[in-house]
Amino acid sequence: MKIKQDILIESYPQRIKVILTVVLLLVALVAYAYPRFDRGGDSPKYTFEEMVETFDIPATQQFMAPPPPSRPSIPVESEDEDFAEDITIAQTDLDAFADWDAPPPLLTGQSNVRFIPYDEPPTPVGGYKTILKNLVYPGIALAAGIEGTVVVQAFVDKTGRVIETEILEGIPQTGMNEAATAAIRKTLFNPAKQRDVALGVWLAIPITFQLRS
């Protein structure tokens, strides 16, 4: 009796060949398709650029600190010089100053002197002899033979008129103060000026009373 062989066993070598052929074809197909998929033009590309921001740093200015103050020197006792311990100071002779003259006393009424600054002082029209023409020697002083000087402080306004008077140094109870004041009030003055502008100022005017021999 003849034994029938299995069909699978008989076709095993052919199936192996077919399987190997299919595997090789798949491998070749994958190897061929992969480079094309990798080179696809639609795939996005990303690039990175390194951005470095620079800053200008100004140069640092250095200031020199002032030197520290020098330490005070400490006095040291000198050993080179010998000072005598019996030094005495001569007494001051105060009697030598006894012959000094005392300062002159202040004139009566000088503390009342008034002053207004000016460039040109006021002057009597016609000179100071105009005041002497208006001066009348008092009878009491004339009879008693009294002479002297009276200083009158007068305010001369910007029109040249004397509107106020005051005795700075006078001779009372002789009529000289009144006579000097009256003579000055009768006199017309050229007004004082400051920068070519007339203004009122105070003026001290001495009036001398003197008898003729």
Summarize pLDDT for 193-208 with one digit per residue, the tens: 999 999 999 999 999 9
In CATH, what number is assigned to the domain containing residue 176? 3.30.2420.10
Q: Which of 111, 110, 174 is nearest to 143 (CA)?
A: 174
Residues of the chain with pLDDT > 90, as a percent, come to 42
In a domain, 59, yes or no: no
Q: What is the pLDDT of residue 73?
A: 61
Show the beta-strand stretches assigned E in the chain: 123-124, 148-156, 162-169, 189-190, 192-194, 197-199, 201-209
Q: What is the pLDDT of residue 136?
A: 94
In a domain, 58, yes or no: no
**Higher model confidence: residue 92 or residue 158?**
158
In a domain, 169, yes or no: yes
Residue-wise burial string across 5-23, b where 16 or more C-beta atoms lie within 10 A, e elsewhere? eeeeeeeeeeeeeeeeeee
In a domain, 174, yes or no: yes
In a domain, 178, yes or no: yes
Highest mean pLDDT among 17-31, 47-61, 90-104: 17-31
pTM, entire model: 0.48
**Higher model confidence: residue 186 or residue 30?**
186
In a domain, 106, yes or no: no
Cβ neighbourhood burial of 134 (10 Å; 0-12, 13-18, 19+):
middle
Span 72-83, average pLDDT: 58
Structural domain that includes position 133:
116-209
Band the pLDDT of 109: cuts 50, 70, 90.
Answer: very low
**Higher model confidence: residue 78 or residue 29?**
29
- Mean pLDDT, the chain, rounded, equals 76
The domain total for the chain is: 2
